[in-house]
Chain A
Amino acid sequence: MSYDEREALELINEYLEEVRQYLPEDIADDVIEELRTHIIDKASEMGGLTVRNVYKIIRELGEPRQLASKYVVGGGKKVLRFELGISEDIYPYFIQLVFWITLALVIGYSIKILYSIAYSTGSMSILSIALIFAEMLLAIILTIILLYIVMSFFSSNPDLKEMLRKLLEDVFGKPCKLCKEKTGLRIEKTVRDFETRRREMRIQISTPISAIPSLLIGICQIILAYLIYLYGFAMPFNWLMQLLLFSLIINLTACAFINIGDYFYAGYSGKRSYLASMLKSLASFVFVPWLILSNIFTDDLQLLTIDVELFRNEDYENLFNYIRIIPIPPEYIPLAKLITLLLLIVIIVNIIITLLRYSRTIPRARAEERLLSPQYSDSLHTFSFH
């Protein structure tokens, strides 16, 4: 068995294992074996069991979950399932819903901000606007996460998904052509991307241009962490705020190292690391202890303000003189409690989603790497000229 054949068989296995995840257990073995004989039969008729042929057949069979869902619609056991991820046929509606919800929230909160400006008593108005703005961002993020989870639930259950799809189609109409191209042909696009990247591989660019921002961001993060270390601890903050500074410095330093490491990895291997993006979102975990503590000891929170009186006196000698650290006004304590709690939820949900996605990206990444590897450059050559 040649190297290409072995790799092709492994690709078939990976695809079928992904299909199996969504199939009812009682039919899974039979279905998987039938699909396997189909792929092998068709590939040998197309000229041999190669990664390229197998990929074309898999592309025709479609997205694993969608293929599996066709086996379940209108029959079999009714067990409710839940998997994160939205099916391709309702994904355009998800984007549309996100757009309209965001628009509605932005309009709603803008009215609230305008209202609070019109009726403010003068003091603390900037703070209250900032808080409304933060509330708006949180509302948008939470709504999107909730919508994602709800639509994932529908996607995991083919019968429910069909109901939702019909309902959405009645409300929004059929997804536009552009959206269809974006989602329905995603697999095709991935194959095209492989080809372009393989061509780039042969030219052997030392570092992908896409990695340079990582380096710049990494350097900025180190500088920022140093500035916080230098000036942040010079100010008379209490223990809670010092813990925040400490968490910020750790997070920035960690992200900086990950970014710079990503840059060098890209230069060394010619591709981006999947690990980097996961580690970056894991780094946000350092804020969790502070968020928990500040949710409990909310009255210890402090705010940085600028002393307007001194500023008017044009006393520019020392910039630090303008800055005042004040304890959080009591009327904002409930809001601060709410915000810290929501941030905590956002960070934890984000970490869970990242871990789940990473565990799924790995098999796909390995398949991509196989297609990118130089062993296939010859088959690419013949493919692109036919």
Chain B
Amino acid sequence: MNGILEIETWKTEIRRGLIEMCILSLLSKKEMYGYEISKTLSSISNGILYVEEGTLYPLLRRLENKRYIRGEWQIRGGKARKYYKIMPQGLEVLALMKSFWGDLVNAVNKIVFVGGEESELR
């Protein structure tokens, strides 16, 4: 029982670290508003990268404070929403994150799926 609870905490922690990279990555492709980001993250990842809305909006605000992204109020389709777009600084950070993520996945896979369990590698 305790083990299951711990695994959930572990998953949340892993996700928390990755979500910034995923948001920056989504915004590098197109401008999006908060709820759109939340929906896209969920639908692309089949819910694995689900982020609570109470966490997402403050996170966007933090990324904005770091000048990785910038939010702008725009009226599209008759509705005013705050659209976020990635800034040059954000693109730089995203590139660094991506390269580290690639190295990390390789390294972790080598350790975790070593030997006979290589078939589990996806």
Contacts and interface: CB of A to CB of B under 8 A. Distances in A.
Interface in A18-45: 27, 30-31, 33-35, 37-38, 41-42
B62 interface: yes
Contacts of B62: 74-75
Contacts of A37: 33, 35, 79-82
Q: Which of A31, A70, A73, A177 has the most CB of B within 10 A?
A: A70
A71 B58 contact: yes
A368 B2 CA distance: 37
Given A37-B80, A38-B35, A41-B35, A31 B61 contact: yes
A213 interface: no
Interface stretch (B12-20, B48-56, B94-102, B109-117): B48-56
A67 interface: yes
30 contacts: A27-B61, A30-B71, A31-B57, A33-B73, A34-B34, A34-B82, A37-B33, A37-B79, A37-B80, A38-B34, A38-B53, A41-B35, A41-B79, A41-B81, A57-B53, A60-B52, A60-B53, A60-B54, A61-B54, A62-B52, A66-B54, A67-B58, A70-B54, A71-B57, A71-B58, A73-B58, A75-B62, A75-B65, A76-B65, A177-B5
A37 B84 CA distance: 14
Given A33-B82, A71-B58, A71-B61, 6 more contacts: A30-B71, A34-B57, A35-B57, A42-B35, A62-B52, A70-B55
6 tightest Cβ-Cβ pairs between the two chains A and B = A70-B58, A62-B54, A61-B54, A71-B58, A34-B82, A41-B35
A62 to B, nearest CB: 4
Is chain A's interface secondary structure helix, strand, loop, or mixed overall? helix
Contact of B54 (A30, A33, A67, A73): A67
Interface of B: 5, 33-35, 52-55, 57-58, 61-62, 65, 71, 73, 79-82
B70 to A, nearest CB: 12
Contacts of B57: 31, 34-35, 38, 71
Contacts of A61: 53-54
A298 to B, nearest CB: 55
Interface residues of A, number: 23
Interface string A249-266: 000000000000000000
Contacts of A70: 54-55, 58
Interface of A: 27, 30-31, 33-35, 37-38, 41-42, 57, 60-62, 66-67, 70-71, 73-76, 177
A12 to B, nearest CB: 14
B120 to A, nearest CB: 31
Nearest to A69: B58
A177 B4 CA distance: 13
A250 B55 CA distance: 52
A179 to B, nearest CB: 14
A186 to B, nearest CB: 15
Nearest to A75: B65
A70 B54 CA distance: 8
Contacts of A71: 57-58, 61
A335 B52 CA distance: 55
Nearest to A67: B54
Contacts of A74: 62
A41 B58 CA distance: 18
A38 B52 CA distance: 13
Contacts of B65: 75-76
B50 to A, nearest CB: 11
Contacts of A30: 71, 82
A199 B63 CA distance: 46
A30 B72 CA distance: 10
Nearest to B80: A37
A76 B80 CA distance: 26
A41 B32 CA distance: 14
A212 to B, nearest CB: 41
Nearest to B52: A60
Nearest to B39: A45
Contacts of B61: 27, 31, 71
Contacts of A41: 35, 79, 81
A67 B82 CA distance: 19
